[in-house]
Homo-oligomer: A and B are copies of this chain.
Amino acid sequence: MKAAIAGASGYAGGELLRLLLDHPAIEIGALTAGSSAGDPLGAHQPHLPSLAGRVLLDTTPEALAGHDVVYLALPHGHSAAVAEILGDDTLVVDCGADFRLQDAAAWEHFYGGPHAGTWPYGLPELPGQRDLLKGARRVAVPGCYPTSVTLALFPAFAAGLAEPDVVVVAASGASGAGRSPKPHLLGSEVMGSATAYGVGGTHRHTPEMEQNLSRVAGRPVTVSFTPVLAPMSRGILATCTAPAAPGLTAAALREAYAAAVEHEPFLRLLPEGVWPATSMTLGSNTAALQVTLDERAGRVVAVIAIDNLTKGTAGGAIQSTNIALGLAEELGLPLNGVAP
């Protein structure tokens, strides 16, 4: 199989390439970009010497034609036009937000502009979702924050152990903000400092979290979500809490989580008493998870660490690719990270 990447000069594109270089069943085809078209890839992804001499093409139908898979790592709002020109036989995997939401009004409220539609949602761990991805030819890769929050809380909601009033605070590395230079993302501003942003329900990933958790819970779940920019390049550490269902015990909670992750290749419930660190997952497709019952406060507290670019973006995209193409789900995806 052959894969093209549209948006190969950015962080998501670079991570897709890093992973695909080790994928035994997918060959890397055309690499395209916007303003960087014409540059050698090495000018943008100097950590990938194997591809240093590959030249970035313009993002045109011709360039993307003739591939089995096309990954779109484009700014929001650009995926629909590109997808339209690709045939129905091509697997199109969108790392952007365009096709994640089912609710057109929520899309328009949070993103502006018309809603492009809804594609099969690329989070295989979401109960029932894996089957919907088999044979799919369109996949909407989840946002990095929604991936983390959904994986942290679906076991509780699926088992009816939590009330639908969720509070999430998630620290993310700076790569989550992308590669466009902005003053507040300068190294001198970011290092040594933590800062909140998109507070009070204004972050675009909020409705996606609510969509996922409501589906699992079978009733509307609201999420108070606060993202925090932390002084690191990669990683999300999400602390996710919800009121405990009446009578919940710590043992029942842990049992539900153990059962939920049992057959999941990329979900890892840590030994009791060990809490996730993003360094446990750097560069890997693993989500490190822990949960406890705070009996004083009457809340379920789940903490999860993922690599925002791997499980949170490119790794998740390849995991869904594998399922859609009928390959083994784990193919080409690292379980183990790089530390320290």
Contact = CB atoms under 8 A, between A and B. Distances in A.
A224 B167 CA distance: 10
A274 interface: yes
A237 interface: yes
A214 B48 CA distance: 33
Nearest to A270: B46
Interface in A209-242: 222-224, 226, 228, 230-235, 237, 239, 241
A327 interface: no
Interface string A181-219: 111011111111111110111000010000000000000
Nearest to A303: B196
Interface string A9-26: 001001000100100000
Given A199-B290, A222-B296, A235-B194, A45 B339 contact: yes
A40 to B, nearest CB: 8
Contacts of A129: none
Given A175-B340, A187-B231, A199-B301, A281 B181 contact: no
B47 A199 contact: no
Interface in A283-340: 283-284, 286, 288, 290, 292-299, 301, 303, 305, 335-340
B295 A201 contact: yes
A12 to B, nearest CB: 11
A174 interface: yes
B195 A277 contact: yes
Given A187-B185, A230-B230, A276-B196, A167 B235 contact: no
Interface of A: 11, 14, 18, 21, 42, 45-51, 165, 167, 169, 171, 173-175, 177, 179, 181-183, 185-197, 199-201, 206, 222-224, 226, 228, 230-235, 237, 239, 241, 268, 270-271, 274-284, 286, 288, 290, 292-299, 301, 303, 305, 335-340
Given A171-B171, A199-B301, 8 more contacts: A47-B284, A47-B338, A167-B241, A193-B235, A196-B303, A201-B297, A226-B241, A234-B340
